[in-house]
Amino acid sequence: MTDRQRIYFRLLVLPFVLALLMPYLLKDWFFSHHIAFIYYFLVSFLMCFGLVPLFYKLGIIMNITDVPGGRHHHKEQTPRTGGLAIYITFVSALHIYTNPPPEFQGLFWAITIIAGFGILDDIRGIPASIKLIGQILATIVLIYYGIIISFLPDQPFWRVFSIILTFLWVIGITNAINFLDGLDGLASGLAIVISFFYAAISWSIGNPFVFIVSLIFMGTVSGFFLYNFRLGKQGLIFLGDTGSTIIGFTLAALAIYGDWGIHKSVDLAIPVLLLAVPITDLLLTNIMRIVRKKVHSVRELLEFAGNDHLHHRLKAIGLRPKAVVITLCLFTILMGLLSLLLKRGDYSESFVALGIGIIIFSTGVAFLIFMEKRHNEIQ
């Protein structure tokens, strides 16, 4: 690191200090002017933006880095400690929320469990089966605190089914985002877009908890994103398993807790639309691996690492990495706009909108596979 870079990194501690002072100096001003939403975003953004350089240096000192070669396409040794900055910022900023509901504690402890297993994986590496145990424990905490899929009838049989669906949803989305963390800015960029629409929809229907937590999360990830997605340069720091699993877990939990419309069907349709990219990638990739007999057991499916995800396929047909990130984020924005139209819909409108989203994305995936095959034939 050059002297100029050292000076620059030291200056970046100032936003962190400002973020610590804001609750004491400026909170009343933001609230009195009815712009508290800016306050929640700014505190988390400045805190993470100031913390990332510190964890960059920590990653270098402790050698918690990804080195070039193998499945890694970057050209320089890069710290994978960005997730630590996200965790500390997010859980710290959550505590500026006045009068949180009981579910707040559930989210806090569940994310702490996810972060703990992620840190272990980033430092020394742990098997996928151990990480799965951590995700199961964290989901149990969510369920204990009442964060559970609730669009099904409130009867004993359906209650058990809701618990099973909650496990599948939370663990599935957590890993889906983790799988997408293969390009600079992809997982964090999608998280920013999805969090924005979480906040917009929850504000319009009067869900203050999801609104505020989404703003805090969006600010947190935005503070990291500026270091990870740099035009013309590779990312300065990576999320690591800690960051990617925290992002996936948080998005999954907020999707469950949110009341997304006036009908229960909307509670299903809106999260599926907003998370269309990771859901499709998870399903498409694993189904193709099973069909092509690349995996032969659940354990192999959990531990298999390949270059067959959506972002790999888009790169294979000629898109540059930054273009892939922008393309998938723009598609998620499209799904978000569709979700805004959907939030006041009835049952039929919900499934029509969901169907339109599925058709659009399925067409895109089919076109992508066609172009990939054509590209391979030309090669």
Is 79:238 a contact under the CB 8 Å cutoff?
A: yes
Instruction: Tell me which of 264 and 301 has the higher pLDDT.
Output: 301
Q: Which band of pLDDT confidence, cut at 50, 70 and 90, is reported for residue 374?
A: low
Instruction: Report how far residue 109's alpha carbon sits from residue 100's, in angstroms, rounded to the nearest whole number.
Output: 14
The DSSP secondary structure of 34-77, one letter per residue, reads T-HHHHHHHHHHHHHHHHHHHHHHHHHHTT-EEPSBTTB--SS-
Average pLDDT in the chain: 82
Q: What is the pLDDT of residue 252?
A: 96
Instruction: Tell me which of 39 and 268 has the higher pLDDT.
Output: 39
Mean pLDDT throughout 29-43? 76
Instruction: Report how far residue 27's alpha carbon sits from residue 319's, in angstroms, rounded to the nearest whole number.
Output: 44
Helix and strand numbers, DSSP H then E, in the chain: 17, 2
Instruction: Report how far residue 178's alpha carbon sits from residue 114's, in angstroms, rounded to the nearest whole number.
Output: 12
Q: Which of 119-123, 316-320, 375-379 is the least confident region?
A: 375-379
Is 149:232 a contact under the CB 8 Å cutoff?
A: no
Is 90:219 a contact under the CB 8 Å cutoff?
A: no
**Range 361-370, long-range pairs (CB < 8 A, 24+ positions):** 361/276, 361/280, 361/331, 361/335, 364/331, 365/280, 365/284, 365/310, 368/310, 368/313, 368/314, 368/317, 369/313
- Encoding tokens for residue 125? 């590496």
Q: Which of 51-65, 81-95, 266-280 is the least confident region?
A: 266-280
C-alpha distances (whole Å) from 174 to each of 146, 163, 372, 376 are 19, 16, 27, 32
Q: What is the pLDDT of residue 116?
A: 96
CA 289 to chain centre: 24
Question: Per 3-state DSSP, what percentage of the chain is helix, strand, and coil (rounded to 5)?
Answer: 75, 0, 25
Q: Which of 95-104, 135-144, 237-246 is the least confident region?
A: 95-104
pLDDT exceeds cutoff 60 at 3 = no
pLDDT exceeds cutoff 90 at 112 = yes
pLDDT exceeds cutoff 80 at 353 = no
pLDDT exceeds cutoff 80 at 146 = yes
CA 204 to chain centre: 22
pLDDT exceeds cutoff 60 at 4 = no
Instruction: Report how far residue 14's alpha carbon sits from residue 50's, in angstroms, rounded to the nearest whole number.
Output: 7
Mean pLDDT throughout 230-253? 92
Q: What is the pLDDT of residue 50?
A: 86
- Taking phi first (over 0 means left), then psi (-120 to 50 degrees means alpha), and beta for anything else, what does residue 55 get? alpha
Q: Which of 107-111, 144-148, 158-162 is the least confident region?
A: 158-162
Is 364:331 a contact under the CB 8 Å cutoff?
A: yes
* Domain extents in the chain: 3-378
Q: What is the pLDDT of residue 117?
A: 97
The DSSP secondary structure of 210-242, one letter per residue, reads HHHHHHHHHHHHHHHHHHH-BTTB--SS--HHH
Percentage of the chain beyond pLDDT 90 is 39
Q: pTM here?
A: 0.87
Mean pLDDT throughout 293-304? 72
Q: What is the pLDDT of residue 341?
A: 78
- Encoding tokens for residue 358? 């599925």
105 half-sphere exposure, CB direction, 13 A CA radius: 6
Q: What residues have CB less than 8 Å from 192, skipping those under 6 apart?
A: 218, 221, 222, 225
* Number of Cβ within a 10 Å radius of residue 298: 10
Q: What is the pLDDT of residue 71?
A: 57
Which residue do the tokens 């599948």 mark?
168
Is 252:142 a contact under the CB 8 Å cutoff?
A: no
- Name beta bridge partners: 66: 78
Instruction: Tell me which of 130 and 71 has the higher pLDDT.
Output: 130
Q: What is the pLDDT of residue 195?
A: 97
C-alpha distances (whole Å) from 78 to each of 47, 67, 128, 240 are 22, 7, 23, 10
Q: What is the pLDDT of residue 21?
A: 64
